[in-house]
Structure 1
Amino acid sequence: MFTGLSAFPLTPVSEQGIKEYEFIGLVEHLAEAGVDSIGVLGSTGNYAYLSHAERARVVKLSVENAAGVPIVAGIGALRTRDVLANAESAQEAGASGVLLAPVSYQKLTDDEVFDLYATVCQSLSVPLCVYDNPGTTHFEFSDELHGRIAQLPQVRSIKIPPVNSDIQAATKRVARLRKLIPSDVTIGISGDAAAATGLNAGCDAWYSVIGGIYPKAALAIIRAAQAGDATTAQQLSEQLEPLWALYREYGGSLRVAATIAEVTGRVSQPCLPQPLQTLQGGDRKRVEQVLEHLELD
């Protein structure tokens, strides 16, 4: 399950709750496109801003409308007890796997992070993906810690941050980590702009934001990489550079992805939980111009 394209859709919300009809539409679109899995309640899915009940509802809706495509559900929370509750709800709803980042207000130690994963794995009957996202958690995994955690039962994938743009350096980084983990644990790349390089460097999966909006474009990149056509995969990624530039300029992919979802009519405005806001004014116009130039569908 933790191979190929895992597409991460937005969770559109208002202050009254989840916009369920719109969320279902996003999930159905991904299933119809043929993505390999759907990752709900990731960073793009605004998991940190949702209540336990809302998160449970998101997983239930996604499983019911994914037409059999595996659902990977984010379960991260500040307290271990809440992570365990999220894990239980996700499993009850029929999620095929879970995604866990070491979320914390206080900076965590390596031992605290290991104990988190060890505790959660004891309660799981589905596989787990380790979510390594220092940009939001401010915790940096060492390869050695990844190696320890990867030995735990239920751990089947590691979602790593963007790799170096130099393919040789990226290949060495992936190979170094692979030596420390079991053969049945996959390595997935995140950071859309680095995806082609990561895949060409040996990553097994792409955990993708753009895949949650434009799955056809993301599938073209990963299928080329899977076929061993590194040149085409890189060229297709480079064609999306105007989009990657928006990510860099506006501090990440969430606001850009949510703005795209609004301007293309996939969701209604506003779609982010307050105090978060989508791009407005000249910034929004810039997104529209990039989309017009790229002509994605």
Structure 2
Amino acid sequence: MFSGLSAFPLTPLDQGEIDEAAFIHLMERLTDAGVDAIGALGSTGNYAYLSRRERAQIAQLAVTHAGNIPVMVGISALRTRDVLDLAEDAQAAGASTVLLSPMSYQKLSDDEVFALYETVTRTLSVPLCIYDNPGTTHFEFSDELHGRIAHLPNVGSIKIPGVPADPDAAKARIERLRALIPAHVTIGVSGDPFAATGLNAGCEAWYSVLGGLFPRTALAVTRASQAGYAEEALRLSERLQPLWTLYREHGGSLRVLATAAELKGLVKSPCLPSPLRPLEGAGRQALSRVLDELQLT
């Protein structure tokens, strides 16, 4: 459940409402490809823009259409009270695990973040994945804080942001963190451009936005690294450099992959919650060319 490729699909909208048919189709692509796990309501799943009812709807759809693949459901919210409610909804839907980031408006302290995870893990009947995503939460975990939280009950994995590009530095970073956490807690890399390096450095999982839309492409990278073919994993990732460039140019992966889903006819346009907007004009044209060149699957 906390190893291999964990694919994070979009939550597509149509006229501001959940597009159930499109979401189910995205889920079918993931199950057909045979991903190792599915992550619903991550950042690409636009959890922060959805109501509790909408999030419960997506959690239920994800579990229903995942087949035998375990589903991780995001439960992040501003207030601990709401996180606990969302955890109940995810568990009621049949989620195999939950994903929690320290979402905030006021900047949180380390003690406040620890208290959040301490409170939530006490109530869970499923494992929890710590979601370290400073690009959206503006909270930066220290390795020491990760270590404190990882020793709480029901913690199963840590989803870290991208690792250093240098393979030796990446390995050293993973080893520093691993020395502070229990043996049963896995480390998963996010930040798609860094995935091959992270997997080669010892991360057990890739928590992948790319995999949520193009699972076979992401699986090729993952399986190469898992089989010990580090150079092949890096080569497959390097081939995707035009896509990684678009990530950097447009503030991350969300708008790029939402637009890609629109261009591929997998979702209706616009599929993002307002005020978010997909790529337009030159950016959209550049992405269309990249998709034609790369032939992602």
TM-score by length of structure 2 reads 0.99
1:14 touches 1:273 (CA, 8 Å); kept in 2?
A: no
Alpha-carbon distance between aligned partners in 2 of 1:220 and 1:106, rounded to the nearest angstrom: 40
Other-structure match for 1:202: 202
Per the alignment, residue 76 of structure 2 pairs with 76
- Counterpart amino acid of 1:271? C
The whole-number CA distance in structure 1 between the counterparts of 2:145 and 2:15 is: 39
Residue in structure 1 matched with residue 135 of structure 2 by the alignment: 135
2:145 is aligned with what amino acid? Answer: L
The CA deviation at 1:14 is 3.3
Deviations 1:215-271 (A, max 9, x none): 011000010101111000000000000000100110100000100000000001110
User: Contact 1:47–1:74 (CA<8 Å) still a contact in 2?
Assistant: yes
Q: CA deviation at 1:68?
A: 1.6
Contact 1:6 1:37 in 2 (8 A): yes
Secondary structure class of the residue paired with 1:271: coil
Match of 2:31 in 1: 31
Separation of aligned partners in 1, 2:23 and 2:77: 22
State the shift of 1:13 in Å.
1.2
For residue 231 of structure 2, what is the aligned residue in structure 1?
A: 231
Kindly indicate whether the alpha-carbon contact (under 8 Å) linking 1:27 and 1:65 is maintained by their aligned counterparts in 2: yes
8 Å Cα contact 2:13/2:268 also seen in 1: no
Q: Corresponding residue for 1:260?
A: 260
Q: Secondary structure at the match of 1:149?
A: helix
The whole-number CA distance in structure 1 between the counterparts of 2:296 and 2:272 is: 23
* RMSD between superposed Cα atoms in Å: 0.6
- TM-score scaled by structure 1? 0.99
| 2:16–2:273 Cα contact (<8 Å) kept | no
Report the Cα distance in structure 2 between the residues aligned to 1:64 and 1:136, rounded to whole angstroms.
29
Q: Provide the rounded CA distance (Å) in 1 between the counterparts of 2:144 and 2:81.
A: 26
| C-alpha contact (below 8 Å) 1:78/1:105 kept by paired residues | yes
Match of 1:56 in 2: 56
Match of 2:170 in 1: 170
Shift of 1:296: 1.7
Please tell me whether the aligned partners of residues 190 and 208 of structure 1 are also in contact (alpha carbons under 8 angstroms). Answer: yes
In the alignment, residue 128 of structure 2 is paired with which amino acid? L
Q: Give the share of equivalent positions with the same residue, in percent.
A: 65
Match of 1:243 in 2: 243
1:15 deviates by 4.5
1:103 corresponds to which residue?
Answer: 103
**Aligned-partner residue type, residue 218 of structure 2:** A
1:47 corresponds to which letter in structure 2? Y
Which residue matches 1:179?
A: 179
Q: CA deviation at 1:89?
A: 0.1
Question: Mean alpha-carbon deviation: is it higher for 104-113 or for 13-22?
Answer: 13-22
C-alpha deviation, 1:281, in angstroms: 1.2
2:9 and 2:157 map into 1 onto residues whose CA distance is 20
Letter paired with 1:192? D
2:266 alignment partner, SS class: coil
Q: Distance in 2 between matches of 1:135 and 1:29?
A: 28
Q: How many residues align?
A: 297
Unaligned runs of 5+ residues in structure 2 are: none
Match in the other structure for 1:19: 19
Letter in 2 for 1:240: L
- State whether residues 37 and 72 of structure 1, in contact with CA within 8 Å, keep that contact through their aligned partners in structure 2: yes
Report the counterpart of residue 213 of structure 1 in structure 2.
Answer: 213
Q: Secondary structure at the match of 1:102?
A: coil
Q: CA deviation at 1:158?
A: 0.2
**Residue 196 of structure 2 contacts residue 237 of structure 2 at CA under 8 Å; is this kept in 1?**
yes
1:294 aligned residue = 294
8 A Cα contact 2:14 2:268, kept in partner: no
CA distance in 2, matches of 1:59, 1:31: 16
3-state SS in 2 of match to 1:68:
coil
Find the counterpart in structure 1 of residue 113 from structure 2: 113
Task: Give, in whole Å, the separation in 1 of the partners of 2:136 and 2:175.
Answer: 25
Q: Unpaired segments of 5 or more residues in structure 1?
A: none
User: Partner of 2:95: helix, strand, or coil?
Assistant: coil
Per the TM alignment, residue 12 of structure 1 is displaced from its structure 2 partner at its CA by: 0.3
Counterparts of 2:242 and 2:84, CA distance in 1:
40
Q: Is the 8 A contact 1:128 1:155 kept in 2?
A: yes
8 Å CA contact 1:15, 1:274 repeated in 2? no
Contact 1:163 1:198 in 2 (8 A): yes
- Give 1:295 shift: 1.4
